[in-house]
């Protein structure tokens, strides 16, 4: 028997299988529908929460430091509040805005599950490459402005208010946080995103 004949036999065995009945014995359409609707709500919430956590925390931090800036300012007529905490607030708002714009652009470019496979793979590859670029350059667009703003502002605040607590906060919290964030980004690129990119490139290559 040649390969084609053998494959035809396989194909007819395949078509005779009764795979559909297996599920319906265990879960009827109502239960499945209810579960899908529940999952959809959860999925939307989780996705939105994932995206908004980073962005909203940036804007909240901006609000908090604006409040500190105004509260610690020496109010004199025709003079702006002292700039130390306001600089941090500006940096936080800048970062949050950058993430928000990036999220909106990426969301617009996203394909849906009903697009052809090749288009979805290409779109996923672009998304992963963009994510890798973001994380590889996280020092320049996130940690450098963040730590610079904090360092300048907190050193100035320590001098202005004659206290070391801002300097201590900078050394004990802000700098380790930046270092940890940088390491985490590199780890994510190495362990998650690069393997995913290679996988998608292989998939795309198999369709070219």
Partner 1 sequence: MTARDQEATFRRWLDQHIGLILKVVRGCVASPQDQDDLFQDVLLQLWSSIPAFRGEAKETTWIYRVAFNTALAWRRGERRRREGHERFLKFCESPETQPSHLDSSPEQEIVERLYAAVRQLPKTDAALALMHLDGLSYQEMAQVVGISENYIGVKLNRIRHQLANKLKGANNER
Which residues bind to partner 1, rule: CB under 8 A? 3-4, 6-7, 10-11, 13-27, 29, 31-33, 35-37, 39-40, 42-43, 46, 112-121, 124, 202-203, 206-207
Cβ neighbours for 39, distance < 8 A, ≥ 6 positions apart: none
Smallest distance, partner 1 to C-beta of residue 106, A: 15
Nearest residue (CB) to partner 1, 7 versus 187: 7
Smallest distance, partner 1 to C-beta of residue 131, A: 14
3-state class (DSSP) for residue 67: helix
Token digits for 104?
A: 């909106």
Question: What are the strands, taking DSSP E only, across the chain?
Answer: none
| CA angle in degrees (0–180, nearest 5) for 128-139-59 | 85
Smallest distance, partner 1 to C-beta of residue 35, A: 6
Nearest residue (CB) to partner 1, 93 versus 204: 204
| Rounded Cα–Cα distance for residues 10 and 13 (Å) | 5
- For 125, half-sphere exposure in the C-beta direction (CA atoms, 13 angstrom radius) is 14
Which of 167, 168, 174 lies closest to 146, judged by CA?
A: 174
Nearest residue (CB) to partner 1, 43 versus 179: 43
Smallest distance, partner 1 to C-beta of residue 192, A: 10
Nearest residue (CB) to partner 1, 123 versus 155: 123
């Amino acid at each position: 028997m040649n390969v084609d004949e053998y494959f035809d036999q396989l194909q007819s065995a395949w078509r005779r299988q009764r795979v559909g009945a297996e599920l319906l014995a265990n879960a009827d359409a109502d239960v499945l529908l209810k579960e899908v609707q529940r999952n959809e709500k959860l999925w939307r919430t989780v996705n939105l929460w994932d995206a908004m956590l980073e962005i909203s925390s940036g804007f909240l931090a901006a609000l908090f430091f604006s409040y500190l800036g105004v509260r610690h300012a020496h109010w004199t007529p025709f003079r702006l509040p002292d700039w130390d905490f306001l600089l941090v607030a500006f940096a936080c708002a800048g970062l949050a805005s950058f993430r928000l714009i990036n999220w909106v652009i990426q969301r617009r470019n996203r394909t849906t599950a009903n697009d052809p496979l090749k288009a979805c793979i290409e779109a996923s590859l672009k998304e992963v490459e963009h994510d890798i670029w973001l994380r590889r350059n996280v020092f320049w667009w996130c940690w450098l402005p963040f730590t610079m703003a904090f360092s300048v502002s907190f050193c100035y605040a320590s001098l202005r208010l004659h206290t070391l607590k801002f300097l201590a906060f900078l050394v004990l919290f802000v700098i380790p946080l930046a270092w940890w964030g940088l390491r985490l980004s590199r780890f994510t690129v190495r362990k998650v995103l690069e393997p995913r990119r290679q996988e998608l490139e292989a998939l795309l290559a198999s369709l070219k």
